[in-house]
Structure 1
Amino acid sequence: MANLGVKFGKVDFKNPVVMASGTFGFGREYNEIYDIQKLGGVSSKGLTLEKREGNTGMRVWETPSGMMNSVGLENPGVQGFIDNELQFFKELDLVRIANVGGGTLEDYIKGVELLNNQPIDMIELNISCPNVKAGGMAFGIKNEVAREVVREVRSITDLPLVIKLSPNAEDIVGMAKVCEEEGADGISLVNTFKALAIDIHKRKPVFDNIYAGLSGPAIKPIALRMVHEVSKNVDIPVMGMGGITSAKDAIEFIMAGSTCIQVGTANFINPKIGLEIIDGIEKFMKAEGIKTLDEIRGIL
């Protein structure tokens, strides 16, 4: 009998499939399509201290084997989430992850403090947003800047703390080590790649913000390599993501060292992709005689 359950630090997941922040809202809309409680977890839409309207102009742009986005962290703010979304979120029988971003260190601290006594299971601290002018990216490039924000947030919360890393970091392995040194309970990676699209007829960038975040199958081989490098160099668990669109992709990330995997862009292609990936992993395990995912995790 295949057991899909995994333990991420002290948190138990019924299966390793988590819906990535920014692609699943707070789960309410997808729950109208299928029972999302069959998933292992959901990472909320990225929350900032104050409500954000997001970026102007084009927000999503299709690319070969991928997608670019410049949403700009549109969200109701942490308090808006608590007041209007948390009731639904807290009743879900899965691991509930609050993704938190910010433009300043103070924003991160105040946002997490507001979430401290709320019914969530984990904080995913986003220090890696390339699609906003102020937020995330400044903290996700240099190791010592990341060290400060992780240290300060760790000091004010007892919730499991996962740090979401940028593939644009100067040294992603070094950054993961810094996060571990400062008390992070886990690492999630990779976020989108900083990218550019140009409208040749208008002779200007497609996005008002000029640069945007590239995701989807196009980034998978690079994301897989980074997950492998990081998981080999830290002792805390990793959530791997980047172009996962099938059970095969998910299994590759687990073999590269991921404890859990996150699915993002694929939700826009197939809203039920999470269920298909869970089913595919289970079928693979049965066919291969694998009882638990521990048997294949990090085998490379």
Structure 2
Amino acid sequence: MTATAPEVAIAGLALASPVLVAAGCGGTGRELAALDGLTGVGGFVTRTITLDPREGHPGRRVHETDAGFVHATGLANPGLHQFLATELPWLAAADVRTVVSVAASSLGEYADLARRLGDSPGVDGLELDLATPDGPALGLFDTREPFQAARAVAAVRRDLPRGTALLAKVGHDPLRVVETARAVAEAGADAVVLGNALPALLPDGRPGGLSGPAVRPVALRTVAEVHAALPGLPLVGAGGAAGADHVRAFLAAGATAVQIGAALLHDPTCAARAAADLRGET
């Protein structure tokens, strides 16, 4: 039985499905498309793009656990210039709603990313990654305090062209998530993504993030708490969703849309199948 209408809208951005591909888990999009993994999804969130290229952490970056996996990528990406030249044109031609995930080391870099991406054909929205585990250690602007997260949103909002959706991605912190969500919304975020990994440790002692099934109960709680406190704020749930039943649980908790990420590493078609299930096709 279909529990929800398949079409939703966030900040005026119409989506064919409430199911989105989460940042960093769908490669460049080509990898999923080759397996029909983008068919019917509401949108694709790119891997996190920074102004300059990043090689990422050396050695093994993903370690599977009983409850998901611990990862430390170092935000490997080709940098803005190469992304605009090689990855964004393919996404635009693929006719998929594209939200570009971005991170920056300063407010000036956030503003620069907003200007250059906002004017680029094929960009439907930006997702500010304000919740990367150990972000300051990676040289990112420190957004752990709500007022600093709000400053990053304000810097982007000021330079982002009208009509480009602005999503702020904040972490699963049940103690401060409502405060942070309120701060970024007041600073100009059109929607808040409640997601990202929980701080964890890799087997070799390096800091990383935990993603997967273990995160889902925490993610559902943060969605429910923010929705109760800020019922008019569009929310995107993220964390441990792997199928249509999980998507329905997030929607019931108050989310408008749901991102599927870690599960794609085991089943690259699970987001597309969840979208089809919600449409009543399976």
Give TM-score, length-normalised by structure 2: 0.92
Q: Which amino acid aligns with 2:244?
A: A
Q: Which residue of 2 aligns with 1:195?
A: 200
| Equivalent residue number for residue 219 of structure 1 | 215
TM-aligned CA deviation for residue 168 of structure 1: 4.5
Q: 2:125–2:165: 8 Å Cα contact kept in structure 1? A: yes
Mapped contact 2:23–2:101 kept (Cα < 8 A): yes
CA drift of 1:160 comes to: 1.2
The answer (yes or no) to whether the contact 2:234–2:255 under 8 Å persists in 1 is: yes
**Secondary structure of residue in 2 paired with 1:198:** coil
Q: Which residue, 173, 177, 186 being the options, matches 1:172?
A: 177
Which among 234, 239, 257 is matched to residue 236 of structure 2? 239
Aligned to 1:298: none
Residue pairs, 1:1-300, within 5 angstroms: 3-34=5-36, 36-119=38-121, 120-130=123-133, 132=135, 133-136=137-140, 138-139=142-143, 141-158=144-161, 159-168=164-173, 171-199=176-204, 205=205, 210-234=206-230, 235-283=232-280
SS at match of 1:232: helix
The Cα of 1:18 is off from its aligned counterpart by 0.4
CA distance in 1, matches of 2:139, 2:268: 28
C-alpha distance in 2 between matches for 1:257 and 1:73 = 30
Distance 1:214 1:188 in 2: 17
Please tell me the residue identity of whatever aligns with 2:213: P
CA distance in 2, matches of 1:113, 1:283: 40
Take 1:42 and 1:26, find their aligned partners in 2: how far apart are those partners? 9
Q: Deviations over 1:116-170 (max 9, x none)?
A: 211210000111111552255721x211111211111111113210000012486
**In 2, Cα distance between the equivalents of 1:164 and 1:182?**
13
- CA-CA distance at 1:58 after TM superposition: 2.3
* Deviation for aligned residue 1:64: 1.3
C-alpha distance in 2, partners of 1:89/1:136? 26
Match for residue 294 of structure 1?
A: none
Q: Structure 1 pair 169/248, CA: closer, same or farther in 2 (3 Å)?
A: closer
State the shift of 1:54 in Å.
Answer: 0.4
Cα distance in 2 for residues equivalent to 1:3 and 1:227: 19
Q: What is the one-letter code of the residue matched to 2:61? A: R
Greater relative CO (CA pairs within 8 A, separation 6+) = 2
Quick check: 1:130–1:136 contact (8 Å CA) kept in 2?
no
Q: 1:232 and 1:95 mapped to 2: Cα distance?
A: 29
Gapped regions of structure 1 (runs ≥ 5): 200-204, 287-300
The RMSD of aligned alpha carbons is 1.9
273-282 vs 216-225, which deviates more?
273-282
SS at match of 1:222: helix
Give the distance between the partners of 2:219 and 2:280, measured in 1 at CA: 25
* CA deviations over 1:230-285 (Å, ceiling 9, x no partner): 1222222111010001211110000001111000000011111012211332349x
Q: What percent identity do the matched residue pairs reach?
A: 31
C-alpha separation between the residues in 1 aligned to 2:175 and 2:71? 22
Q: Distance in 2 between matches of 1:138 and 1:3?
A: 38
Q: 1:52, 1:212 → 2: CA distance?
A: 17
Distance 1:135 1:228, change over 3 A: farther
Larger radius of gyration: 1
Q: Contact 1:37/1:93 (CA < 8 Å) preserved in 2?
A: no
Runs (5+) with no aligned partner, structure 2? none
Separation of aligned partners in 2, 1:238 and 1:165: 11
Mapped contact 1:61–1:68 kept (Cα < 8 A) = yes
Q: CA 1:35–1:148 in 2, change beyond 3 Å: closer, same or farther?
A: closer
